[in-house]
């Protein structure tokens, strides 16, 4: 009878390790093959444009977008001394402030109502979420007629109360507010659906226990609904902030950034700099600044907001 020697054991161990490495390599290659279509799409439509934008931001370009002169950080320095761009930054933050909180609050109120077990409530759920099916262009045209200074419905209401008509889209005092109202209306449908889904995922036994103890409706709303809905709040708030920073369509249709750059948000400023003034280097620098702002706001939201999230 022969016994395995030390050399034989080392050979077996070496072969086993080699087989494990080969299996891991095969698994990795299989995984990469499955990921390859997604990586190609991300590379073509996300990574390449992102790095190209960063590259262009350090150059002056001609009308065709070809680089001409390397200027380094000069495009960035010029942005922060440009009163038009700085106003667009201010307008963007005001727009975020005007739209995000009202959208979430109104959507929550509608979701709480739609979550009640009442006859015919499905019809109201459909109505509340219907703005999701309206394109930005159609919604902007609809609100343009509402804001019309002579035949608009809003000014007709003011006239019935003996008030003066308002130049909703041409008065610098009202233009950004008017676009914000339009944006709130357009975003309510999506936010409502997400919050309604969050409400329906809350364990009903929590409410049953509260009913046994004789607690009131608003106490349950404050102590059960809001805390249990905090992950959904965190999600919709983060998404709403990002979307607000990227707003373009309604600005382009309703005001074109006017009056007096009063509604000129950063994305519209990028569009105007690139495709109206053909200054692609400066526009790329603005795009990089916007990316950094969104990144910082998202990081801040995760840093501060996630502390108050209560997971079940």
Res 264: pLDDT: 95
Domain boundaries, the chain: 6-56, 75-308
List, in order, residues 6 or more apart from 4 with CB less than 8 Å away. Answer: 12
Q: Which residue has the higher pLDDT, 14 or 231?
A: 231
- Residue-wise pLDDT tens digits, 185-197: 999 999 999 999 9
Instruction: Provide the pLDDT confidence category of residue 237 given band limits of 50, 70 and 90.
Output: very high
Res 248: pLDDT: 95
Task: Say if CB 188 and CB 106 are below 8 A apart.
Answer: yes
Q: Which residue has the higher pLDDT, 16 or 12?
A: 16
pTM for this structure? 0.87
Instruction: Provide the pLDDT confidence category of residue 290 given band limits of 50, 70 and 90.
Output: very high
Res 135: pLDDT: 92
Cα 311 to Cα 300: distance, rounded to the nearest angstrom: 20
Instruction: State percent of the chain over pLDDT 70.
Output: 94
Cα 312 to Cα 310: distance, rounded to the nearest angstrom: 7
Does residue 215 carry a pLDDT above 60?
yes
Name the residue among 183, 194, 193 with its Cα closest to residue 97: 183
Does residue 158 carry a pLDDT above 60?
yes
Res 188: pLDDT: 95
Report the Cα–Cα distance between both ends of the chain, in Å, rounded.
63
Class for the domain spanning 75-308: mainly alpha
């Amino acid at each position: 009878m022969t016994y395995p020697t030390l050399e034989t054991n080392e050979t077996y161990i070496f072969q086993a390790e080699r087989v494990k490495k080969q299996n891991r390599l095969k698994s990795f290659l299989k995984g990469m093959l499955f990921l390859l279509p997604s990586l190609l799409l991300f590379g073509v439509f996300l990574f390449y444009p992102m790095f190209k934008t960063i590259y262009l931001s350090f150059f002056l370009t001609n009308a065709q977008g070809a680089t001409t002169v390397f200027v380094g950080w000069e495009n960035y320095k010029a942005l922060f001394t440009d009163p038009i761009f700085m106003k667009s930054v201010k307008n963007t933050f005001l727009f975020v402030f005007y739209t995000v909180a009202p959208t979430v609050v109104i959507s929550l109120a509608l979701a709480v109502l739609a979550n009640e077990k009442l006859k015919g409530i499905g019809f109201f759920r459909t109505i509340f979420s219907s703005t999701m099916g309206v394109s930005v262009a159609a919604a902007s045209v609809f609100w343009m007629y509402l804001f019309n200074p002579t035949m608009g419905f809003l000014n007709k209401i003011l006239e019935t109360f003996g008030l003066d008509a308002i130049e909703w889209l041409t008065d610098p005092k009202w233009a950004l507010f008017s676009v914000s109202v339009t944006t709130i209306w357009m975003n309510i449908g999506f936010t409502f659906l997400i919050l309604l889904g969050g409400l329906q995922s809350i364990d009903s036994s929590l409410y049953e226990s509260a009913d046994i103890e004789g607690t009131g409706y608003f106490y349950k709303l404050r102590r059960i609904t809001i805390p249990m809905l905090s992950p959904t709040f965190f999600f919709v708030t983060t998404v709403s902030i990002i979307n607000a920073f990227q707003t373009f369509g309604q600005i382009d249709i309703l005001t074109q950034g006017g009056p007096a750059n009063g509604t000129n948000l950063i994305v519209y400023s990028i569009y105007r700099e690139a495709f109206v003034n053909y200054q692609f280097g400066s526009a790329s620098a603005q795009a990089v600044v916007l990316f950094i702002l969104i990144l910082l706001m998202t990081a801040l939201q995760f840093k501060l907001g996630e502390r108050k999230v209560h997971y079940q």
